[in-house]
A = this chain, B = another copy of it.
Amino acid sequence: MEKILAHIDANIDASLARLFELLRIPSISAQPAHRQDCLAAANWARGALQGMGFSARISETAGLPGVIAQHHAAGPDAPHVLFYGHYDVQPADPLALWHSDPFDPQLVDGPRGKRIVGRGAVDDKGQVVSFFEACRAHIAVTGGLPVRLTVLLEGEEECGSPSLTELLTQERDALKADFVLVADTNMWNFETPAITTSLRGLAAVEVTVKAAARDLHSGLYGGIALNPINALTRILGDLQDDQGGIRIPHFYDGVAPVPDELQESWNRLGFESDEFLGQVGLASPAGEHGQSPLAQLWARPTADINGISGGYQGDGTKTVIPAEATAKLTFRLVPGQDPQAVVRNFERFVRERLRPDAKVEFKHQGAAPGFAMRLDAPFMRAAQRALREEFGKPAALVGCGASIPVVEAFKTQLGLDCLLAGFGLDDDCIHSPNEKFELACFHRGTRAHARLLAAFAD
């Protein structure tokens, strides 16, 4: 193992150069204009894996393709690991807030040493390449890998994974494995690795309230004509009670309290909500009263309005009663909640509050349940051992407030459990301008991945 780690240390510049190649490809899956760039990123990954001796290929879908690669030289008795990552990235807007071109990656000085800046630096290209480089070191030093390894890269993670079901279905045989290693999560902090034991799900819905057949003059109709913005805000203003709870009936059906064991481990993390919120200019946990800040982030569901629009948007005043108003909502869901039921209950909540003359339309925009990980699985114990060795301290067992729909897809479609271990940091600005990945995190992540591969085989 020491030789493998020394190889990684000695070749970190070459590893970084390979990451930068991938970061230069603007593989924005949400924007059709970047389809060719997405294909280029997939081909880049296929080439990198083939160069290490994997059999690798592109797997076409109705949308953007997957990349599938196999290195099974460890033989039929070795554990079989399926690695999952994604080669696509979020849109880079607003461009004006970036300090450098999002697709011209830079190595810049930061308070923790050098950092890699660019769209996808950590989410998820940096994490994927750190795993690739761990494999490269194993192969360079030992001539092979300690486990049977299959790699799956998705190209639509940042736009809701519309083709993932198709991909998993058509590649069911190629993706057989003992478990999935998912590299898309964060460390607890710069010194402490983490294993994510729960993810929140997501249900997205757009609601439009319509009233008059056309925009109306508020002087001629104001007072007698229903205003759809007033009507929509009246409905949405009712979403939360004074204690921060969501008022949609049955919203909390199936939501379990945080287990004592997990709450106690969270207490030991020393999480300071003042510091966490202070970094973004906030001070007070805004969720349910009586729930700890970490529970609000990891174990409690939410109802966030992500966008709202209606009526006049320009400068000054327009005395209009518009014909309609629209809001986009997402619900972060926890294990036990049925995403379809949440959407159904929200729709009923809206319809029950509709005033006369209001009509409502809904658009559904994806739904995935929350996910809780098996704490007693063998790969989980192996991972804890490997991370302790690399970082000199136990991994934090944490929750994550975001969704990785693929985790649920692996469980429901392939029967596979996931191990979520990644090396990003909370301040990496993923999905925001100036996304970055600490060079030290990239480096130690590569070393940790090398140790993980060995530990899985013990």
Question: Residues of A at under 8 Å CB distance from B?
Answer: 30-31, 90-91, 93-94, 97, 159-160, 200, 202, 204, 206, 211-227, 229-230, 232-240, 273, 276-277, 280-287, 293, 296-297, 300-322, 325, 327-328, 330, 332, 355-357, 365-366, 400-403, 426, 429-433
In the bound complex, residues from chain B placing their C-beta under 8 Å from that of A215 are: 94, 431-433
A365 to B314, CA, bound (A): 13
Q: Judging by beta carbons under 8 Å apart, are A365 and B223 in contact?
A: no
In the bound complex, residues from chain B placing their C-beta under 8 Å from that of A301 are: 223
A308 to B305, CA, bound (A): 13
A216 to B308, CA, bound (A): 16
- Other than the given A226-B286, A282-B357, 16 more pairs (CB < 8 A) read A30-B314, A159-B316, A200-B219, A211-B281, A214-B429, A218-B401, A219-B403, A220-B430, A223-B300, A224-B277, A224-B296, A229-B308, A234-B240, A306-B320, A307-B312, A309-B310
Q: Judging by beta carbons under 8 Å apart, are B230 and A239 in contact?
A: yes
Q: Judging by beta carbons under 8 Å apart, are A311 and B317 in contact?
A: no
In the bound complex, residues from chain B placing their C-beta under 8 Å from that of A328 are: 311-312, 317-318
A selection of 22 A-B contacts at a CB cut-off of 8 Å is A31-B315, A212-B280, A216-B280, A217-B432, A218-B332, A218-B402, A220-B401, A221-B297, A223-B286, A223-B301, A224-B273, A224-B277, A229-B305, A229-B307, A229-B327, A230-B305, A286-B356, A286-B357, A305-B311, A306-B321, A309-B309, A320-B432
Closest CB in chain B relative to A365 CB, distance in Å: 5
Between A91, A230, A240, A293, the greatest number of chain B beta carbons within 10 A of the residue's beta carbon is seen for: A230
From A334, which residue of chain B is reached at the shortest CB distance? B223
A327 to B90, CA, bound (A): 27
In the bound complex, residues from chain B placing their C-beta under 8 Å from that of A284 are: 226, 355-357
Q: Judging by beta carbons under 8 Å apart, are B306 and A311 in contact?
A: yes
Q: Judging by beta carbons under 8 Å apart, are B330 and A319 in contact?
A: yes
Between A222, A232, A310, A318, the greatest number of chain B beta carbons within 10 A of the residue's beta carbon is seen for: A222
* 9 closest cross-chain pairs (CB), A and B: A237-B237, A219-B402, A213-B281, A307-B311, A284-B356, A307-B312, A229-B305, A233-B236, A226-B286
Q: Judging by beta carbons under 8 Å apart, are B239 and A332 in contact?
A: no
In the bound complex, residues from chain B placing their C-beta under 8 Å from that of A97 are: 214
Q: Judging by beta carbons under 8 Å apart, are A332 and B211 in contact?
A: no
Which of B94, B218, B430 interacts with A306 by CB under 8 Å? B218
From A90, which residue of chain B is reached at the shortest CB distance? B318
From A29, which residue of chain B is reached at the shortest CB distance? B316
Q: Judging by beta carbons under 8 Å apart, are A225 and B319 in contact?
A: no
Assuming A305-B230, A366-B317, is B235 touching A237 (CB within 8 A)?
Answer: yes
Which of B227, B233, B276, B286 interacts with A233 by CB under 8 Å? B233
Q: Judging by beta carbons under 8 Å apart, are B219 and A332 in contact?
A: yes
Q: Judging by beta carbons under 8 Å apart, are A285 and B317 in contact?
A: no
A245 to B415, CA, bound (A): 56
In the bound complex, residues from chain B placing their C-beta under 8 Å from that of A401 are: 218-223
In the bound complex, residues from chain B placing their C-beta under 8 Å from that of A317 are: 30, 159-160, 204, 206, 306, 328, 330, 365-366
A297 to B431, CA, bound (A): 46
Q: Judging by beta carbons under 8 Å apart, are B236 and A314 in contact?
A: no
A400 to B282, CA, bound (A): 46
Q: Judging by beta carbons under 8 Å apart, are A224 and B297 in contact?
A: yes
Q: Judging by beta carbons under 8 Å apart, are A225 and B311 in contact?
A: no
Q: Judging by beta carbons under 8 Å apart, are A306 and B286 in contact?
A: no
Between A159, A305, A320, A332, the greatest number of chain B beta carbons within 10 A of the residue's beta carbon is seen for: A305
From A320, which residue of chain B is reached at the shortest CB distance? B306
Which of B93, B160, B222, B356 interacts with A283 by CB under 8 Å? B356
From A93, which residue of chain B is reached at the shortest CB distance? B314
Closest CB in chain B relative to A231 CB, distance in Å: 9
A235 to B230, CA, bound (A): 11
Q: Judging by beta carbons under 8 Å apart, are B306 and A308 in contact?
A: no
A220 to B306, CA, bound (A): 14
A225 to B229, CA, bound (A): 24
Closest CB in chain B relative to A201 CB, distance in Å: 10
In the bound complex, residues from chain B placing their C-beta under 8 Å from that of A429 are: 214
